[in-house]
Amino acid sequence: MNFTEFNTLPESEQLELLWAKSTYLRDVSKENHRIIFYAIEDFVVQVTYHPDSETISEIIAVGLSG
């Protein structure tokens, strides 16, 4: 699977793949959300999470170059 295919999956399937096959890289805390980065196969996934409401507002996969 590549990052383009990942981005077309429903959110539930994206999360399932993240929990099963990814490696946590790091997270960054902002004012009201956290951005969490995971590596999966040959791409990185950015998850934007809002701890106050316990919701995910965005999941984006980006390919690695080089």
| Per-position pLDDT tens, the chain of length 66 | 899 999 999 999 999 999 999 999 999 999 899 999 999 989 999 999 999 999 999 999 999 875
Q: Is the pTM of this model over 0.85?
A: yes
Joined tokens for residue 38: 């995971």
User: Which ranges in 1-66 belong to alpha helices (H)?
Assistant: 3-8, 11-21
What's the number of domains the chain is made of?
1
Could you list the residue range(s) of the whole structural domain that residue 37 is in?
3-63
pLDDT value for 62: 94
